[in-house]
Amino acid sequence: MQKLLKRTSQVQKQAARRQRIARSKNASDTRKLQHNQLRVHNKARREVFVSARQAQREDWHLGPLAPRRDVGDKAETYGTVPLRLVESVEKMDGKWKNWGIREGDRVCVVGKKERDKGKIGVVREVAERAESCKVTGINM
């Protein structure tokens, strides 16, 4: 009878260990996927900013002979960042990774409230735990 009890407890421990390993593997895979998505997102943002800097440098060097970038196909999007790059970054492990907003930063509201969308203001206070910030002229 003792052998049977011993064998049962071994099987239970092995099953618990397998489940623990599977959970940690799933969590690891999720973190890797989120990290890769963030890396791709940041790479796309970097490419947009680098091309904008190159255009600005070229315009400065050419002076009045610089090409008009605000006409033609890109007339409506000149000087803007694509919306897919403005979308919020996914949370990692329940926290914002490198939130990047500090007091004194100038920000544009892209939130859900229609009346505040598009307003620009300066950050007064940042509450990283609450994942929010107060902006002058908007959060009154």
Whether this model's pTM surpasses 0.75: no
pLDDT tens-place string over residues 1-35: 788 888 888 989 999 999 988 888 888 888 899 89
CA distances 117 to 40, 43, 52, 96, 108, Å, are: 26, 26, 25, 22, 8
79-117 pLDDT, tens digit each: 666 666 665 555 555 555 566 777 888 888 876 667 777
How far, rounded to the nearest angstrom, does the alpha carbon of residue 61 sit from its chain's CA centroid? 34
Residue-by-residue DSSP string for 60-109: HHHGGGS--TTSGGGTTTTT---HHHHSPPPPBTTB-SS----TT-EEE-
Q: What is the C-alpha separation between 42 and 36, in angstroms, rounded? A: 10
